[in-house]
Amino acid sequence: MNDRVDESPRSDSRDDLTAAASELRMSTFRLARRLRAQRAVDTMSDAQFAVLAALTVHGAHTLGQLADRERVTAPSMNRTVSLLEEAGYVTRTPDDDDRRRVTIALTDAGRLVVDETVRRRDAWLEEALAALGDDERRTLATAAEIMRKVADT
């Protein structure tokens, strides 16, 4: 009598999960790369745009708050903000109560860059979705909900 337990179904399932995770990761990064290429200012880095986007969504921040939000060091964020300030996309305003504290806010020019970049990205994605069939678009809509759920865990 053979007492050996066949582990292949569990192993196949694990291999399938690993392959699915890898495929999802690669596809997500490829899509993100294509979307990032759609920008209003070609010379702006992803990190610089992320700061403008954060200020658009969450309002003015201190340098430390921005660094924490973007998970970078304060000196790194300072360089990014300095470049954005030189380009006229953000302003630094000293706090009235604590002159060491500086608030970074979006300018109208910065808001225009964000708005135009979002418009270009949405237009590119809309065009890509238009080339798909109804079933594929429904599948992607469902996938988007699931991806948001996974990202929130």
Where exactly are the structural domains of the chain? 13-151
Q: Is the pLDDT of residue 3 over 70?
A: no
Name the average pLDDT for the chain: 91
pTM (2 d.p.): 0.79
Distance CA 85, CA 81 (A): 6
Task: Decide: 78 and 63 in contact? Cβ < 8 Å.
Answer: yes
Q: Which CATH architecture has domain 13-151?
A: Orthogonal Bundle (1.10)
Residues 62-73, mean pLDDT to the nearest whole number = 95
Question: Which of 1-10, 60-69, 71-80, 111-120 is least confident?
Answer: 1-10
Q: Is the pLDDT of residue 12 over 80?
A: no
Task: Decide: 94 and 80 in contact? Cβ < 8 Å.
Answer: no
The pLDDT confidence band at residue 128, using thresholds 50, 70 and 90, is very high
